[in-house]
Chains A and B, each alone.
Chain A
Amino acid sequence: MSGLGGWVGRRLRRVFRIARRRSAELDSRRDEQDERRGSRSERLSGNARRDAEHIRRLLGEPPELVIRPIDGAESQAILVYIDGLVDQNQVAEHIIAPLTREPSAKAREPFPAQQSRLETLDGAASALLLGHCVLLRDREGATAYDVRNWAKRAVEQVQTEPTEVGPREGFTEDLATNLALVRRRLRTHRFRSEQFVLGEQTRTQVRLLYLAGIARNELVAEVRHRLRSVDIDGVLGINHVDELTSDNPLSPFPSTVTTERPDRVASMMLEGNVAILVDGSPLALVMPGTFSALLQSSDDFHQRFFYASFTRMVRWISVAVGLMAPSIYVSLISYHHELVPTRLLFTIAASREGIPFPPIIEAVLMEMAFEVLREAGLRMPRQFGQALSIVGVLVIGESAVRAGLVSPLMIVVVGMTAIATFAIPATPLANAIRLLRFPMMALAGVLGLFGVFFGFMLVVGLLVSSRSYGVPYLTPVIPVWFKGLQDATFRGPVWWHQMRPWYTARPGQLRRQPPGQKPQPKGPRPGERP
């Protein structure tokens, strides 16, 4: 009986398998047919008037679409472009004039810098939306000319990553401008720029930049693969790309470096990093973004290494202060009085006299008040900024203490924490620290110092288990790479930086410069005879 059942089962499974395979084959054949039919219908007909009409209908008959027949042309020619996206002067001088005024037919060719042949209606529509103008000619097909010139911001001083002595120009929203800003700093034949178009509806142009031969091939391939796998209807900024390609989508910590400084992008590309530019975004993504890279600032490379190293150490300390200062304060005051030096304990006790809230409530209230002020400061029109800071100072700094709601020491701790987070150069990292401060305070309020270190271990665990494009997030600190520490925890002198990081550069290209670059001026030393 069981033998019969087994036989029937096997037969049934086989029948189902064959049916599934047939169905899959039929589906794929149908898809292929649909694709062929679609591409045929999308092809340009070669009749200029009919193609212009098709394009107009495809784009929804927008009033800003200009369809202009060219009178002097030998064959029927129609120029199509979208008003506002193209440079009218270029259209008139470089396209219309040669077509109408040149006596010989051979010379009647427009001459903008960039042009491309078009085969399909979709291609023509995409070109128009990119700011190209399309010339349709009977029997000769269609050509797109790059004459884009939409309203754009000039290159201005960077806003979010100010520098003391470094260069000041920052990216704009225009991809071509941004690309030029990076190229200007890396005049090498190794510079590679690969184009991707992301977003079904937005058709956003994205560029992948790297230095061929220096960036690790696996890294470039991985970034390329992740960009190709993005399938979404709209990409409106760099954060979309970041979130769609990140290694740790659920981590509060950023896994890429986001910067608006072309000099930072160039400097990181020299180390083998890969950068992404997105049209319409004044920021660049650089990957892999390790924790130590997020704590580097452009100023580090424009100042003497002693001072640069000092400021780097200050930033590491700022991370610790920003994350744990309020929680340590809360735990000491709530649970571990005995650990506070006696004199300090008296001072704290005096300052807390008459405060109605326990330290945890006090700390959360103050931190929340600060966050509200910060958020309001960002959203408010600039002209109200000063008024807001006055209110903030009076409410937080003065009145709350006088009303006996918070202790002056809590103001000091909250203020110190806020300043520490502003010392972190990468805003996404500072935001993550700011966010994690609240659960840390809650743990401190419930479990004291044990809670603080439990939270700290969880945060470290999260950081240790994270990766950025396959690279351990805490590299070169954990796992430790001693040579890399000279550019992570402190900034060694430039002549000392002989190696590129192993996790970004190609194995054969690890050597950045030969040894012996330390300057040793020739000639007699003081006290020596020439």
Chain B
Amino acid sequence: MRYEISWWQVTAAIIAVQISFLVTFTPALTSSLPPVRESWLAVFISALAAGIIVAPVHSLAQRFPEQTVYEISRAVLGRYAGTVFNLLLTAMFVLWAAIAVRGFSLFLVSVVFVRTPQIVFVVCFLILALVGAREGFEFIGRISEMAAFLALVGLGAYYAIALPNADLGLLGPVLAEGWMPLLRQSLAGIGVFGETAIVGLLALPYLNRPSESAKALAFSLLLSAALVAAGAGLLVAILGPEGVALSAMPALTAARIVTLGFSLERLEWLLLVLWITTLGVRLTVLFFGACLGVSAVLPRLTVPAAAWPVAAVMLVLASIVQPTMPDVLNFFRPESYLRYALPFELAPALLLLIALLRGGQSTQG
């Protein structure tokens, strides 16, 4: 059964998925290479570059309306190659989701709940993902609306409270070291914003007005970039370039020192709320992608039925992948992240290229 979602729900899903990163790793990604103080500018360059990765998704959605990526791949690559492609894509979804859960649960186990087994948090997130994926993308679109609203309001409040603690003079001078270091700095951010392509790929077949796909993708990219840029600039202005470069999770570090008068201090809870909420959406989207893939490879399994084996695999994978916190942090290092993310995010571009070369068209009337 196909559900319908609005362009705003697609936007909300993309924002929620990216904000789950913004809260923790994005500032580290965009700011750990010198010159740190221009990381807010690097974010915009990353978003612009990511636009090149995202554009093929729009073209695919227009060329193959109402078809999921797994249907498109079979139409473009043929039965066997399409199945292999679908298997690889499904594996990527499972792996990406497992890494997301692993990162968060390791953080909780090492910082807050030191005596709680990590599998408890993995199971909790899997329950959320199971519920979401079984209900379909209409549900994901709606829950994303709530998550994106919370993220926008929460981050807005965080920025507003943090602003009096910031020294904006630390952001200058702009482009003192020229363009090349800035461009190098922006490379890692492409991986973050490139995720727009993955969410768009899953969401656009369900869009109620397919002509609005470009609007949804562009708006979400712009809004995410604005939020990340504001966050990156603010963190540099609060912690200083050196502080940001040294911190693994600068947003959480800054939340510890931000205060408003005597009554409001230590805002980690706000970021944790945003992290849990948006990570729930991120995981649900990735989980849904994996279930859809399994259902495409094994047509007898419906998406809700496929959710159980996917959950079992993810439970195992989330317990063994990235065994320690340094491994997780290494994964999100600017030098390595783009290398891992790009093959996943370039899948739509690859499909479009082959479709153009082979002259493939929609198999649906």
Contacts and interface: CB of A to CB of B under 8 A. Distances in A.
Interface residues on B, range: 20 to 34
Interface of A: 335-336, 338-339, 341-343, 447-450, 453-454, 457-458, 460-461, 464-465, 472, 474, 478-480
Q: 10 shortest A-B CB distances, which residue pairs?
A: A453-B276, A464-B142, A339-B269, A478-B142, A454-B124, A478-B145, A465-B135, A461-B131, A457-B280, A464-B143
Nearest to B141: A479
23 contacts: A338-B268, A339-B268, A341-B264, A447-B116, A449-B273, A450-B108, A450-B113, A450-B121, A450-B272, A453-B272, A453-B277, A454-B124, A454-B128, A457-B280, A458-B127, A461-B135, A464-B142, A472-B142, A474-B142, A478-B143, A478-B146, A479-B141, A480-B8
Contacts of A450: 108, 112-113, 121, 124, 272, 276
Given A341-B262, A450-B113, A480-B8, A460 B141 contact: no
Contact of B262 (A343, A460, A464): A343
Interface string B134-164: 0100010111011000000000000000000
Interface of B: 6, 8-9, 108, 112-113, 116, 120-121, 124, 127-128, 131-132, 135, 139, 141-143, 145-146, 262-266, 268-269, 272-273, 276-277, 280
Contact of A461 (B108, B120, B143, B273): B143
A343 B132 CA distance: 41
Nearest to B272: A449
A464 B120 contact: no
B113 A454 contact: no
A479 B8 CA distance: 9
Contacts of B269: 336, 339, 449
B276 A457 contact: yes
Given A339-B266, A453-B277, A464-B142, A448 B128 contact: no
A457 B116 CA distance: 21
Nearest to B105: A450
Given A450-B113, A460-B146, A465 B268 contact: no
Chain A CB within 10 A, most for which of B124, B145, B272: B124
Nearest to B134: A465
Contacts of A335: 112-113
A479 B142 contact: yes
A479 B9 contact: yes
Contacts of A341: 262-266
B103 to A, nearest CB: 14
A460 B142 CA distance: 10
Contact of A342 (B124, B135, B265, B272): B265
A472 B142 CA distance: 10
Contacts of B132: 461
Given A450-B272, A478-B142, 8 more contacts: A335-B113, A341-B265, A450-B112, A450-B276, A453-B273, A454-B124, A464-B146, A479-B9
B145 A479 contact: yes
A447 B124 CA distance: 10
A335 B272 CA distance: 14
B112 A336 contact: yes
Nearest to A479: B142
Nearest to A344: B263
Given A457-B128, A480-B8, A448 B142 contact: no
A312 to B, nearest CB: 18
